[in-house]
Amino acid sequence: MAIDQTDITECYRRIHRPLHNVLMRLLWDGPECQDIAHDAFVRVWNRAGTVDRAALDSLVYATALNLAKNRLRWLGLRRLVGMEHADAAQAEDASPGDSPALRQALSHLPQGQRIVLLLSDIAGFSTAEIAGMLAIPAGTVSSRRHTALRRLRIFLDDSDG
């Protein structure tokens, strides 16, 4: 069944904060995360006639993650051409509960592992939901999460010692 304005409003109230938390740990730029979350909701709303209510949360997350990946590619290009000074303001936008060590550890994870970890441990999605969102097998989701957690533990243990 297609979604209506009430559905998108309830979805926004339900997932905006956890979506922002996931995006924040990918981009570390509060205003950019807000823009991406907003754009994701607008893009889903523009397809309201074809969106199934049961898949709404997953579709918003998947859309936001795709937009964030595009942003990360763009930032990589900026660094490649020597414009990294323009991105220095991002360092000021860390979430209050994030230690610098955790932020650095997350930044060392490959993007696929980081996204799976954030979707499972920050957003609370199940393995099956993440697999559907990212269009990868559930076993791959489990493997990426396990490897990401192992790498985080190693990195954080090394930074403590």
Q: Which CATH number fits domain 1-92: 1.10.10, 1.10.3470, 1.10.1740, 1.20.1300?
A: 1.10.1740
Single pTM value for the model: 0.78
Question: Domain 99-161: which CATH class?
Answer: mainly alpha
Residue 35: band (very low, low, confident or very high) from pLDDT cuts 50, 70, 90: very high
| Assigned token pair, 79 | 């660094």
Q: What is the pLDDT of residue 117?
A: 94
Q: What is the pLDDT of residue 113?
A: 95
Percent of the chain at pLDDT > 90 equals 70
Q: If you search the block for the tokens 């607008």, which residue do you land on?
A: 42
Residue 97: band (very low, low, confident or very high) from pLDDT cuts 50, 70, 90: low
Q: What is the pLDDT of residue 91?
A: 46
- Position 124 pLDDT exceeds 50: yes
Alpha helices in the chain (DSSP H): 5-27, 30-46, 56-80, 100-107, 111-117, 127-134, 138-160
| Assigned token pair, 40 | 């994701």
CB 8 within 8 Å of CB 41: yes
CB 21 within 8 Å of CB 122: yes
Whats the size of the chain, residue-wise? Answer: 161
Please state the domain extents for the chain: 1-92, 99-161
Q: What is the average pLDDT across 36-49?
A: 96
Residue 102: band (very low, low, confident or very high) from pLDDT cuts 50, 70, 90: confident
